[in-house]
Amino acid sequence: MATNESTLPTTEEQWRVRLSPDEFRVLRQAGTEAPWSGEYVSTKTEGMYNCRACGAALYPSGDKFDSNCGWPSFDDAIPGAVKEIDDYSHGMVRTEIRCANCDSHLGHVFRGEHLTAKNTRHCVNSLSIKLDPKNA
């Protein structure tokens, strides 16, 4: 369940207090955790993956798949839960994905890889999400 928007931090300093240093680097500064280091890379537990910053529901576990890319991968998100932004950093063009509720960085989305029937891979940092196993 999403945190009430009125309780969301309104400044980056407020986010810095709420999040761990690693979470802040990824969620608020668009950082990336090292491949294969995240707690959810190989997780098979059923449930709902929520935004670690605000608690908004993002990805049902049924949309998670093994992409062997080093980060948790999902072939779809809950409609309206994720927004896409053009990312021109690091000398390439990618599509960044952010939580639509709190604007925190989740990762990037890639299309055309033919890894699933939906032909989409949301490559998400484990530090950006939190699994709620009760909400399967």
DSSP 50-101: EETTT--EEEEGGGEE--SSSS-EES---TTSEEEEEE-GGGS-EEEEEETT
Count CB atoms within 10 A of the CB of residue 97. 24
Q: How far apart are CA 78 and CA 82, in angstroms?
A: 8
Catalytic residue among 51, 54, 102, 123: 123
- Does the pLDDT at position 24 exceed 90? yes
pLDDT computed for residue 4 by the predictor: 47
- Does the pLDDT at position 1 exceed 60? no
Element (H, E) at 104: none
69 is annotated as an active-site residue: no
- Does the pLDDT at position 135 exceed 80? no
pLDDT computed for residue 92 by the predictor: 82
For residue 26, give the 3-state DSSP assignment.
helix
Q: How far apart are CA 79 and CA 22, in angstroms?
A: 28
Q: How far apart are CA 121 and CA 1, in angstroms?
A: 24
The model's pLDDT over 70-125, given as tens digits with 9 standing for 90+, comes to 999 999 999 999 999 998 887 888 999 999 999 999 999 999 999 999 999 999 99
The pTM (predicted TM-score) of the whole model is: 0.91
The model's pLDDT over 49-80, given as tens digits with 9 standing for 90+, comes to 999 999 999 999 999 999 999 999 999 999 99
